[in-house]
Structure 1
C-alpha cells in the first residue's frame, strides 16, 4: 500500500507494492503539481485549467505580471498587493455644491480599479492643485465601490480641502476597510465647492492595499 509523507501527504511506494515505476512517478507528480508555483498567460487561462482551486495554491500570471494565491475565502488575490496610481495634468472645473464625479473640460474620468488585499483594507490618497474663483471651500474626495455596493462614499471628512483664491496644492490620505478580499473594487474621485466655481489640475489618486 502506498504511504504518505507526514507533512505534505506526498505518496511513495512501499516494498510490498508492485514495482511499477511509471505509476508511482505519476502519483507523485500529480500530488506535487498543485503545490508548485503554477504559470499561466492570464486569469482566464488559469481559471480554465484550475477548475477546483484549493486554499494555498500559488499562480503566476504573465498578464498582469503578478503572483496570486487562492485564499481561505475561496478567491484569487495578489500574493503581495502593490499600490495603484492614477495621474492627470488636464484641468477641469466644477461649480457643484454636491459631490460630482466629473469635471467640465477634463475628459479623463478619475476612476481606478484594484484588487482588495486579504485584510480588506486599503489606504486611499487623493490630491490636486486647486484654484477657486472666489472665496469658499473646495473638496476633493473619493468613493469606493465593489460593483454597485458602496463601501465608502465621498465625504468632506475624507477630502483634500482648500479655501481662498490662491492656487494651492493639497492632498489627503484615509483608510477604507470592509473591502472584500480578492475582489475587484473601483475608486472614483469626487469634487464639490462652495465657491462660485473652481478648477483642479495635476489630479492624482493612489490606492495602497494594506496586509
Structure 2
C-alpha cells in the first residue's frame, strides 16, 4: 500500500509494493493533478471538467484571463481589482429625486460592471465637481443593480453632497454587503437637486468599485 507525503498527501510506493511503475506514476499524477494551476478556456469548460472542486483549488480561465480559486463552497476570482469609470462631461438636473441621466451630458447613465467577490462585499466610491444655482444642496450617489433589479438604491446617506453656488469637489465612499458571490452587478451614478427650483450641475463625475477581500 502506498504511503502519503506529510504535507501534500501525495502517494509513493513502499518497498514491499508490486513493481508496477506505470500504476505508481498514474497514482502520483492523479494526486498532483488537482493541486496544480489548472487551465481552461472559460468557466463553463472548468465546471464541466472539475465536477467535484475542493477548497484551495486554483484555475486559470483564458476568458476572461483571470485566476480563480475554490472557497469550499464556490469559485471566486483570485485577488480581484477595482473597476472605475469617469465621465468628464457636464450635465444638470432639477429633479428632487435621484435620476441617472443629466441634461446636456453625454455618456449617461455612467455605470461600471463588477463581479461580487468571495466576501460578498465591495466599497463604492462616487464623486464629482458639483454646484447649485442657488443656496441649496446637490447630491451624487449610486444605484446598485443585479441584472435589472435595484438591490441598493441611491440615498442621501450614501451621497457626496455640495451646498451652494460655488463649484466644489465632493466624494464619498460606502460599503455594500450581502452580494451574491460571482454574480455580475452594476453601480450607476445617480443625481438630484435639493429643490426643483434650483439647478444642480455635475462635471468630472466618477464611480469606483473596490472588492473587499
Whether the TM-score (by the shorter chain) exceeds 0.5 is yes
Deviation at 1:192, TM superposition (A): 1.1
CA distance in 1, matches of 2:160, 2:4: 59
Aligned residue number for residue 127 of structure 2: 127
SS at match of 2:118: coil
Retained in 1: the 8 A contact 2:136–2:164? yes
TM-score in terms of structure 2 length: 0.86
Aligned residue number for residue 55 of structure 1: 55
Aligned residue number for residue 112 of structure 2: 112
Q: Would you say 1:9 and 2:9 are equivalent positions?
A: yes
* Stretches of structure 2 lacking an aligned partner (at least 5 in a row): none
CA distance in 2, matches of 1:76, 1:148: 24
Aligned residue number for residue 184 of structure 1: 184
Aligned residue number for residue 136 of structure 2: 136
Between stretches 58-67 and 125-134, larger displacement belongs to 58-67
| Structural RMSD (CA) | 2.2
TM-score in terms of structure 1 length: 0.87
Deviation at 1:66, TM superposition (A): 2.8
Per-residue CA deviation, residues 90-131 of structure 1 (Å, 9 max, x unaligned), is: 222222111122223323322212222333222111001123
CA distance in 2, matches of 1:81, 1:165: 40
Retained in 2: the 8 A contact 1:151–1:178? no
Deviation at 1:84, TM superposition (A): 1.2
Aligned residue number for residue 200 of structure 1: 202
Aligned residue number for residue 69 of structure 2: 69
Aligned length: 210
